Amino acid sequence: MHDPDTFQPPDAIPLAGVIGWPVAHSRSPALHSHWLRRYGIAGAYVPLAVLPEHLGQVLHTLPKAGFVGVNVTIPHKEAVLALADIVTDRAALIGAANTLIFRPDGRLHADNTDGYGFMANLRQHAPDWVPEQCPSAVIGAGGAARAVVAALLEAHVPEIRIANRTRLRADQLRAEFGARIVVYEWAQAGNMLDGAATVVNATSMGMTGRPPLRIPLDALGTDALVTDLVYNPLETTFLAEARARGCRTVDGLGMLLHQAAPGFERWFGHRPEVDDDLRRAALA
Ligand code: ATR
């Protein structure tokens, strides 16, 4: 007899996707489809354009159509927390989720893998990077910056300096994340680079079509690792200037690739590799 609580026939092909509005720009379908092909897994990953007012209804329905989980992107990353039954600590701390798992018991599990992706990218491209001995400097205080700050705190960075155009948002980060956060005035952002082992652009400045991030780099030490969350273009003006000063730089594409891996593993049962083939697939 049909058990109304069992959505999946035994031979179901697992489905996943990315929910956004708009969603056509998302690279996630290219990444996951590459992995599905590479590992010979019967499954599919599709873009799902969903209006904010339909999000709850869609999340309720997808598991009944064979979906095992989804990524969520702009503008749904915060709203999804209120709809989830289980929210991981890191998603709660960041205040946003990007990876949802539709559990067999019907419960919706929400996680945030952006901070994991950020750390995994730096560890892959700078294996000897030691973040925990010196301060980090983060430019920006939006959603992406929150994930970076949470990850750096978890990595035992002793001090995280933040400057943001809208100072109030940086002050809010300090109020939520605690005394290891030190807020700098936007006009003095260059000063926070002095002695920093890690420097991160977590603003949207430098993205194709937008002005570059302009911060005086005079205080930047040559042993600092400099990274940009912007990956379009791969080398932003900010990264090019840091590289010209002798710093090691890591582009932001790897964060996007690595944040996708935990979801893929949960949904399709295989821990995928982040390598040059995947980079090419993401850029194609
Ligand atoms: P995301 O989730 O990608 O972080 P967001 O929450 O909109 O997106 O944050 C964008 C970040 O880029 C913020 O730090 C923003 O600064 P404000 O908080 O002052 O808006 C920063 N940003 C965007 N445009 C900027 C600009 N022209 N100059 C400086 N910072 C800018």
Domain ranges of the chain: 15-112+255-283, 115-251
Ligand 1 atom closest to the Cα of residue 203 is 12
Distance 81 CA to ligand 1 centre (A): 22
The mean pLDDT value of the chain amounts to: 95
Annotation marks residue 77 as catalytic: yes
pLDDT at 12: 83
By alpha-carbon position, which residue is closest to atom 3 of ligand 1? Answer: 144
Specify the residue with its C-alpha closest to ligand 1, atom 9. 142
Kindly give the number of the ligand 1 atom that is closest to the alpha carbon of 165: 19
Is 115-251 in the same CATH topology as 15-112+255-283? yes
The string of pLDDT tens digits covering residues 18-71 is: 999 999 999 999 999 999 999 999 999 999 999 999 999 999 999 999 999 999
229 lines ligand 1 (CB under 6 A): no
* Mean pLDDT value of segment 6-14: 74
> Is pLDDT above 70 for 7?
no
User: Ligand 1 mean position to 101 CA, how many Å?
Assistant: 29
Q: In ligand 1, which atom is closest to the CA atom of 204?
A: 12
State the pLDDT confidence band at 283, using cuts at 50, 70 and 90: very high
Evaluate: CB of 221 within 6 angstroms of ligand 1: no
Q: What is the pTM assigned to this prediction?
A: 0.95
Q: How far is the CA of 166 from the centre of ligand 1 (A)?
A: 8
> Which CATH superfamily is 15-112+255-283 part of?
Leucine Dehydrogenase, chain A, domain 1 (3.40.50.10860)
Confidence of residue 1 (pLDDT cuts 50, 70, 90): very low
Fold designation for 115-251? Rossmann fold (3.40.50)
Long-range contact set of residues 50-59: C-beta below 8 Å, sequence gap at least 24: 50/19, 50/20, 50/21, 50/23, 50/76, 51/21, 52/21, 52/76, 52/79, 55/19, 55/79, 55/80, 55/83, 56/83, 58/19, 59/19, 59/83, 59/100, 59/108
Q: Tell me, using a 6 A CB cutoff, whether residue 233 lines ligand 1.
A: no
pLDDT in tens, 154-208: 999 999 999 999 999 999 999 999 999 999 999 999 999 999 999 999 999 999 9
pLDDT band for position 5 (cuts 50, 70, 90): low
Distance 142 CA to ligand 1 centre (A): 6
- What pLDDT is recorded for position 3? 47
